[in-house]
Amino acid sequence: MRATVGGDERIRLFLALELPDSVGDELARWGRQRLTGGRALESFHVTLAFLGWQPASVVGPAAELLCRESAATEPFSLELARYRETRSVGMLVLADPSGRATALADRVQRGLEQLGVYEREHRPWLPHVTVLRFRERPRLDPPLPGIGAFAPSEAAALLSRLHPSGARYEVLESCPLGRVG
């Protein structure tokens, strides 16, 4: 079931690549076994662009842009590269051997800038999956999960609802990746 928003409601919006169910299931299992010192996540995606608080009216143009650019992207796979911690999250950094995910993120971010709803970060886009949130850095060095290369299942515009136990994500719009014939 898709989330719905409307009117002048302000929402936390981001555009992301969704992971296949089997990959998400394995990451959740791995996180429960290997990640300590914080809250291991159960829901996973690769963020292309976080737009923050936006009027609900932005969803349509942003999703249209995402779907157009996703359809124009040839199929690609991502691979686990390493585990990394920032000041508040643990993440699995992904390799993008074909460069297609990076090119998609670049086109989406540029299009969002042209729509006037996004400002790029000064650092390059880093494909990753957030797997752990914490207040104090646990300085973990876990073995990587046993998943091989994987192709994202689709692209999606996601609503992020803040909740005491952590953000909850709801799909507003999704679209296939790869050329449509």
Distance CA 82, CA 164 (A): 29
Of the candidates 5, 155, 152, 169, the one whose C-alpha atom is nearest the C-alpha of residue 66 is: 155
- Taking 70 as the pLDDT cut, the residues of the chain under it are 1-7, 179-181
Q: What is the pLDDT of residues 44-69, one digit of tens each?
A: 999 999 999 999 999 999 999 999 99
- Token representation of residue 123: 């650092």
pLDDT of residue 181: 44
Concatenated DSSP letters of 28-48: HHHHHHH--SSEE-S--EEEE
Q: Quote the pLDDT of residue 158.
A: 96
SS3 state at 123: coil
Q: Where are the alpha helices (DSSP H) in 38-99?
A: 59-71
Q: Which two tokens stand for residue 122?
A: 């000064």
Write down the pLDDT at residue 3: 58
